[in-house]
């Protein structure tokens, strides 16, 4: 397991802040049980911050027919919808909710070429709210497979998430073992697949990025 580069600044700032805070506590309170508890709490908080930016090592089996989960989390939506931004037609939406304890990096769900990216400003509704897909701050990425099938996936900010990072742009290459982006502190991912795709997951199922097959292209 490694620490994601998006966490370096936040981890460093957290360490400095907590160190200064504990020096102030030491000066005001002196050594003792209360100070010891405050130090322990600070170490726990620092550990949580470091844990959030972890990136586990995973072996990825590339497969052009499989649509892999782009993120860790829980399946909260599987339904037929009208995708209005790029496909402009019917698709099956599969949504993954990420709690603050999940790995928050996103990988490409399919292999192919990135044909579209766009960032949208918006609100910060809780990530499981139905309107978060269209009203929250979000970033849309579209990958066209070798067979010309567009797969849309959307990074969506939540009530705690205040920054979406996208590592790609139109014209880039997409591969299932490559990172596509990162969302900081709680969020959601929507994936839009063809109606003809065979869905392999169900509601409330826990999924792992690059490991769980959301659907298969047929």
Q: Where are the domains of the chain?
A: 2-55, 66-216
Report pTM.
Answer: 0.82
pLDDT tens digit sequence for 51-104: 777 888 888 999 999 999 999 999 999 999 999 999 999 999 999 998 878 888
Model confidence at 178: pLDDT above 70: yes
Instruction: Considering only residues 68 and 123, tell me which one the structure prediction assigns the higher pLDDT.
Output: 68
* Residue 62 tokens, joined: 């590339």
Model confidence at 127: pLDDT above 90: no
Residue 96 burial class via C-beta count within 10 angstroms: exposed 0-12, middle 13-18, buried 19 and up:
buried
Q: Identify the architecture of domain 66-216 in CATH.
A: Distorted Sandwich (2.70)
Angle, CA 18 vertex, CA 13 and CA 21 arms, to 5°: 125
Q: How confident is the model at residue 125 (pLDDT cuts 50, 70, 90)?
A: low
Instruction: Considering only residues 51 and 22, tell me which one the structure prediction assigns the higher pLDDT.
Output: 22
Active site residues: 187
For position 206, what pLDDT does the model report? 97
Q: How far is CA 47 from CA 5, 104, 170, 185, in A?
A: 16, 16, 36, 15
Give 6-13's long-range contacts (Cβ < 8 A, gap of 24+): 6/53, 6/165, 6/182, 6/184, 7/49, 7/50, 7/52, 7/53, 10/49, 10/53, 10/184, 11/49, 11/50, 11/53
Model confidence at 20: pLDDT above 60: yes
* Residue 88 tokens, joined: 């402009």
Q: How far is CA 2 from the centre of its chain?
A: 17
For position 103, what pLDDT does the model report? 86
Q: How confident is the model at residue 174 (pLDDT cuts 50, 70, 90)?
A: very high
């Amino acid at each position: 397991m490694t620490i994601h580069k998006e966490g370096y600044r936040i981890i460093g700032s957290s360490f400095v802040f907590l160190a200064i805070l504990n020096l102030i506590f030491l000066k005001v309170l002196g050594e003792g049980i209360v100070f010891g508890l405050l130090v322990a709490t600070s170490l726990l908080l620092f550990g949580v911050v470091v844990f959030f930016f972890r990136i586990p090592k995973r072996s990825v089996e590339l497969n052009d027919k499989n649509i892999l989960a782009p993120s860790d989390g829980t399946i909260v939506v599987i339904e037929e919808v009208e995708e209005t931004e790029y496909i402009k037609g019917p698709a099956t939406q599969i949504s993954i909710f990420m709690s603050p304890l999940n790995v928050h990096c996103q990988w490409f769900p399919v292999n192919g070429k990135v044909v579209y990216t766009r960032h949208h400003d918006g609100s910060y509704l809780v990530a499981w709210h139905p309107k978060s897909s269209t009203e929250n701050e979000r970033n849309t990425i579209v990958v066209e497979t070798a067979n010309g099938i567009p797969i849309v996936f959307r990074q969506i900010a939540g009530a705690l998430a205040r920054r979406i990072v996208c590592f790609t742009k139109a014209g880039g290459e997409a591969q299932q073992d490559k990172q596509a982006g990162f969302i900081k502190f709680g969020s959601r991912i929507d994936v839009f697949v063809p109606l003809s795709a065979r869905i392999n997951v169900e509601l409330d199922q826990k999924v792992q990025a690059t490991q769980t097959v959301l659907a298969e292209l047929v």
